[in-house]
Structure 1
Amino acid sequence: MTALSRATRRIVVAHLTEHGMSPAEIASELEVSGDTVRRDLREGTPPVPEADPEVAAAPAPGLLLPESTQLRQDLNLLAASYKAQREDVARFAIHVAAEAIRRRMHARFAANERQEART
């Protein structure tokens, strides 16, 4: 997994905690130590920077998401933490999430194959 900035990692840790993952599971998923996860939980999520008013750009071909204040704020926060364009950060976040799902699916399939081989 590509290393996340500290601010982004704190956001991800808070999100995964809200969705019921334990600190040990989060540490494993993000490939960081349990102490790092516990410190991120103590410090909480970083404040969301105020979004600058923007003129809506014409939608690019491909994946389109409905515009919302929360989506704009989330993308701006991620873009600020990476010092990158919003679209680049969105692509990266989608890639990271998909890669984590691929790893979990691969692990499940491998476990199923091992179990079937035993029977």
Structure 2
Amino acid sequence: MSRATRRIVVAHLTSRGMTPTEIADELGVSDDTVRRDLREEPPPAPAPEPEPAAPIAAGLLLPESTQLRQNLSLLAAAYKAQPEDVAQFAIHQAARAVRARWQARIDARAKQQA
């Protein structure tokens, strides 16, 4: 194990409440090595692991978003459907509402001109 990796592991185990002696036994190093690792500047936190991508509807690419993935999963569970079917349903519902508003505007203009 590299020194940098060991320092990260030591910092993690310390945050979980392990003593330097317990950590030394766990890692197979001396107590002094663990104490030296703890005295030094803490290592930078590792970059977070990227979340797995949400399934993408065939022919439809959506921007990667945790919130979008959560919303899609919630709707899929509620409707007991595949995420692709839920996305298609939501798009159709939104388009239907837009068409209705447009038609109302067209009707209102026609009424004004009559």
What residue identity is the alignment partner of 1:100? A
Question: What pairs up with 1:21-36 in 2 under 5 angstroms?
Answer: none
Residue number in structure 1 paired with 2:71: 74
Deviations 1:77-103 (A, max 9, x none): 100110000010000000000001101
Q: Please say if residues 75 and 86 of structure 2, whose CA atoms lie closer than 8 Å, have aligned partners that are also in contact.
A: yes
CA distance in 2, matches of 1:80, 1:61: 19
**Percent of pairs identical after alignment?**
64
| Bigger RCO of structures 1 and 2 (CA < 8 A, at least 6 apart) | 1
CA distance in 2, matches of 1:89, 1:60: 10
Report the number of matched residues: 64
User: Root-mean-square deviation (CA), in Å?
Assistant: 2.0
Alignment partner of 1:88 out of 85, 90, 93: 85
Q: Which runs of 4+ in 1 moved over 2 A?
A: 53-57, 59-63
TM-score norm. by structure 1 comes to: 0.48
1:55: Cα distance to partner?
6.3
Structure 2, gaps ≥5 residues long? 1-50
